[in-house]
Amino acid sequence: MPAVVLTLGDDISTDVIYPGRYMATVLPSETPQFAFADLAGFNTRLKSGEIPPGSVIAAGKNFGCGSSREQAVSTLKGYELTVVAGSFARIFMQNAINLGLNLITAPGFEAAEGDTVEIVGEVIRNRTSGGRFAVLPLPKARQAILDAGGLISYTRQRLLKTLRTTDA
């Protein structure tokens, strides 16, 4: 059962998730070391490996606002974290879908650190507090990318298809 490992408020910007001074580091294999670098305690816990994949970050509205930096997604993807938030900023959400970071939109979701959560159908349940919260579906437009396993393979498929059509 995944546990909530960090709780945050509204309007968490990509500057908080991945500070600008680390932006020269771009490769998804290298970005995880700087996740929430300014929250030193949490960053240390991530790097120590004590946080299992699937663990949940719980946040309020407009998670991932600000800069379009994709490092803010690849850094969380590196630990296979799940982000449950009231809502997400557009570019962050698109980047997450493109890279396969698990996002759950659950307005009003409430949890404390250490709570365990469970997703059943369209509902996320906080097993510790007993609270149940509706999960909103991702925008339909994004499903094709998820189905393809991310934007790189989606684009690759499209590219090959286009070439086949032009050859024919």
Partner 1 sequence: MGMTIVEKILARATGRQVVTAGEVVEPAVDLAMSHENAALVINQFLEVYKETGLDPAVWDPARVAIIFDHRVPAESPKTATNQKKIRAFVAKHAIRKFHDIRGDVGGICHQILPESGYVRPGFVVVGTDSHTTSHGALGAFAFGIGATEMASVWALGIAVNVEVPATINVNVSGTFPPFVGPKDLVLHLIGMLTAQGANFRVIEYHGSTVTSMSTSGRLVICNMAVEAGATAGIVPCDDETVRYLRDEAGVRDIVHRVLPDPDAVYDQHLSIDVSELTPQIACPHTVDNVKSIDAVEGKPVDQIVIGSCTNGRLDDLAMAAGILRGRKVASNTRMLVFPASGRIYSQALEQGMVADLVQAGALVMNPGCGPCLGVHEGALGDGETALSTTNRNFKGRMGNPNSEVYLCSPAVAAASAITGVITDPRKGARA
Cβ-Cβ contacts under 8 Å for 49 (sequence gap 6 or more): none
Examine residue 85 and tell whether it contacts partner 1 (CB under 8 A).
no
Q: Which of residues 145-164 bind partner 1 (CB under 8 A)?
A: 145, 150-152, 154-156, 158-160, 162-163
46-82 b/e with 16+ CB inside 10 Å = b?
beeeebeeebbbbbbbbbbbbbebbbbbbbbbbbebb
Counting residues that bind partner 1 (by CB under 8 A) gives 49
Give residue 137's identity as a one-letter amino acid code. P
Q: Two tokens at 38? A: 């300014």
The position carrying tokens 């960090």 is 6
Applying CB under 8 A, the span of 18-26, 102-110, 117-125, 126-134 interacting with partner 1 comes to: 18-26
For partner 1, the binding residues (CB under 8 A) are: 10-11, 13, 15-16, 19-21, 23-27, 38, 61-62, 65-71, 73, 87, 89-91, 94-95, 98-99, 139-142, 144-145, 150-152, 154-156, 158-160, 162-163
